[in-house]
Amino acid sequence: MIDLKFLRENPETVKQNMKNKFQEHKLPLVDEVIELDEKSRKAKQEADALRANRNAISKQIGGLMKEGKRDEAMALKEQVAKDAERLAALETEERELSDKVTEIMMKIPNIIDPSVPIGKDDSCNVEIEKFGEPHVPEFEVPYHTEIMERFEGIDLDAAGKVAGNGFYYLMGDIARLHSAVISYARDFMIDRGFTYCVPPFMIRSNVVTGVMSFEEMDAMMYKIEGEDLYLIGTSEHSMIGKFIDTINDEEKLPYTLTSYSPCFRKEKGAHGIEERGVYRIHQFEKQEMIVVCKPEESKMWYERLWQNTVDLFRSLDVPVRTLECCSGDLADLKVKSCDVEAWSPRQKKYFEVGSCSNLGDAQARRLKIRVKGKDGKYFAHTLNNTVVAPPRMLIAFLENNLNADGSVNIPEALRPYMGGKEKLIPKN
């Protein structure tokens, strides 16, 4: 959520930002907010004047009563009673107008960074850099579920009977590989100075609306029936929520945290032929990283965060690239974002395995995450990035480390988490 004062003083900038994000349908919201805000400020101004007048009259009444001028005092009391009725009406009006302004402001997208390329959707995202040499083996690379089945490592049919489509059983070496990647990612981030955390896997609605837009919430979140609780779609949500309504000492920043959690997502929309198996699912596990920092440091942390993911994938012999997300592909709260994509030897192209985002002070403003500095209080900046999400990571890992005989190489960095194994040998 952007600063109301900024919108009031720069309405055309806010409108141009909407156009850059191809959200022209939201343009009327700017003028609506300005009009409602003006009414709200006028109501507040009149209410403040009535409160000041009430205090002054109260002193007069006391003086008149002491002087024995009861009739004059009673006349003033009648005036105070009338003013009280008007004041109550103004306070109600002010509260309703303020709530309406906040509701609309939640729909207005954050101001994107000037460096963000302008484009309507993800087809306009721009490649930044490649890391590692993509390769295509001479032998045919099977679909990832076929590779897993050779190790008796996946059962989609049983999962379908138990929970429906979008779920899976991982077993044996594949399940161990899944857990090994999570554990390795945890230690990788701890070694980079991040504090490890296991957060709540459910959050209240005020945290949900603090960390994402209404559109994202509807598309992603599962609500617990009868309770004010939602299953998290990523641990970023509860990790940022950890700082809700706090005032943080400037000298203690930045807070750098890495968190493990299961994730639950509706995954609405079309599921293509390449999104079967464990690519697009309703439940998965993930290692995440978040940063709460001073505004002037958020650009630096943004660069560090995506580099962490690149370095982790390269340590596991998976070629990756980074893509700058264009304006139309940015969620409303994001200032800037890039995707990390892994190479798929089978598809002969890259696919998304993580996303890094700088949200400026948008989440902090919604959740009231403030910083106390030498010059006063201000809103922190928040950032998040995927360390690794094993279902998609497993696809990239298996394809890039597969041998012609069906075995899978275990990179040296992962061997301590796999009991020292250097290879996985298929059973089928």
Mean of all residue pLDDT scores within the chain: 92
Question: How many CA atoms within 13 Å lie on the side-chain side of 353?
Answer: 30
Question: Which has the higher per-residue pLDDT, 264 or 271?
Answer: 264
Task: Give a yes or no: residue 113 inside a domain.
Answer: no
Q: Are residues 144 and 53 in the same domain?
A: no
How many other C-beta atoms are found inside a 10 Å radius of the C-beta of residue 240?
A: 29
Residue percentage of the chain with pLDDT more than 90: 79
> Which pLDDT score, from 0 to 100, does residue 193 have?
97
Summarize the confidence of residues 27-38 as an average pLDDT. 96
Q: Are residues 176 and 304 in the same domain?
A: yes
Confidence label for 286 from pLDDT (cuts 50, 70 and 90): very high
> Which pLDDT score, from 0 to 100, does residue 50 have?
78
Q: What tens digit of pLDDT does each residue of 62-95 get?
A: 666 666 666 676 676 667 677 777 788 888 888 8
Q: What tens digit of pLDDT does each residue of 294-332 get?
A: 999 999 999 999 999 999 999 999 999 999 999 999 999
Q: Are residues 141 and 86 in the same domain?
A: no
Task: Give a yes or no: residue 378 inside a domain.
Answer: yes
* Residue 84, token pair as written in the block: 């009280």
Q: Are residues 200 and 309 in the same domain?
A: yes
Give dist(CA 184, CA 163) in Å, integer: 29
Confidence label for 220 from pLDDT (cuts 50, 70 and 90): confident
5 pLDDT higher than 60: yes
Residues in the chain: 428
Give dist(CA 155, CA 149) in Å, integer: 8
Give dist(CA 90, CA 59) in Å, integer: 23
> Which pLDDT score, from 0 to 100, does residue 264 have?
94
Summarize the confidence of residues 126-140 as an average pLDDT. 96
Summarize the confidence of residues 108-115 as an average pLDDT. 96
The answer to whether the CB of 229 falls within 8 A of the CB of 206 is no
Q: What does DSSP say about strands 195-197 and 126-131: parallel, antiparallel, or unpaired?
A: unpaired
* Residue 197, token pair as written in the block: 């955390």
> Which pLDDT score, from 0 to 100, does residue 216 have?
80
- Indicate the SS3 state at residue 285: strand
Task: Give a yes or no: residue 228 inside a domain.
Answer: yes
pTM beyond 0.85: the answer is: yes
The one-character DSSP state at 220 is: H
17 pLDDT higher than 80: yes
> Which pLDDT score, from 0 to 100, does residue 269 have?
59
CATH code where residue 92 lies: 1.10.287.40
The answer to whether the CB of 395 falls within 8 A of the CB of 388 is no
The answer to whether the CB of 267 falls within 8 A of the CB of 282 is yes
Summarize the confidence of residues 178-192 as an average pLDDT. 98
287 pLDDT higher than 70: yes
Task: Give a yes or no: residue 115 inside a domain.
Answer: no
> Which pLDDT score, from 0 to 100, does residue 274 have?
63
Q: Are residues 136 and 222 in the same domain?
A: yes
CATH code where residue 200 lies: 3.30.930.10
388 pLDDT higher than 70: yes
Cis geometry, peptide bond prior to residue 262 (ω within 30 degrees of 0): no
The answer to whether the CB of 292 falls within 8 A of the CB of 382 is yes
Task: Give a yes or no: residue 287 inside a domain.
Answer: yes
- Indicate the SS3 state at residue 425: coil
Give dist(CA 303, CA 187) in Å, integer: 20
Closest CA relative to residue 190, chosen from 260, 258, 240, 242 = 258
* Residue 164, token pair as written in the block: 């429906």
Number of domains in the chain: 2
Domain boundary among 41, 70, 105: 105
Give dist(CA 187, CA 263) in Å, integer: 20
Give dist(CA 154, CA 146) in Å, integer: 9
| One-letter amino acid for residue 170 of the chain | L
Task: Give a yes or no: residue 227 inside a domain.
Answer: yes
Question: Which has the higher per-residue pLDDT, 267 or 60?
Answer: 267
270 pLDDT higher than 60: no
What's the Cα-to-Cα distance from 90 to each of 102, 128, 290, rounded to whole Å?
18, 54, 42
Question: Which has the higher per-residue pLDDT, 383 or 72?
Answer: 383
User: For residue 131, what are the β-bridge partners?
Assistant: 320
Summarize the confidence of residues 141-146 as an average pLDDT. 96
- Indicate the SS3 state at residue 42: helix
385 pLDDT higher than 80: yes
Confidence label for 213 from pLDDT (cuts 50, 70 and 90): confident
Q: Are residues 265 and 412 in the same domain?
A: yes
3-state SS, one letter per residue, for 322-370: EEECCHHHCCCCCCEEEEEEEEECCCCEEEEEEEEEECCCHHHHHHCEE
Q: Are residues 92 and 141 in the same domain?
A: no
* Residue 257, token pair as written in the block: 């945290």
Strands (E), 32-174: 126-131, 154-155, 169-170
15 pLDDT higher than 80: yes
Confidence label for 61 from pLDDT (cuts 50, 70 and 90): low
371 pLDDT higher than 70: yes
Nearby residues of 24 by Cβ (< 8 Å), 6 or more positions away: 18
Residue percentage of the chain with pLDDT more than 70: 92
Q: Are residues 267 and 338 in the same domain?
A: yes
Task: Give a yes or no: residue 331 inside a domain.
Answer: yes
Q: Are residues 220 and 287 in the same domain?
A: yes
The one-character DSSP state at 252 is: G
Nearby residues of 386 by Cβ (< 8 Å), 6 or more positions away: 234, 286, 287, 288, 289, 309, 340, 353, 354, 355, 356
Q: Are residues 12 and 59 in the same domain?
A: yes
Confidence label for 49 from pLDDT (cuts 50, 70 and 90): confident
Q: Are residues 403 and 264 in the same domain?
A: yes
Domain boundary among 51, 71, 105: 105
Task: Give a yes or no: residue 116 inside a domain.
Answer: no
Q: Are residues 199 and 89 in the same domain?
A: no
157 pLDDT higher than 60: yes
271 pLDDT higher than 60: no
48 pLDDT higher than 90: no
> Which pLDDT score, from 0 to 100, does residue 70 have?
67
- Domain housing 86: 4-105
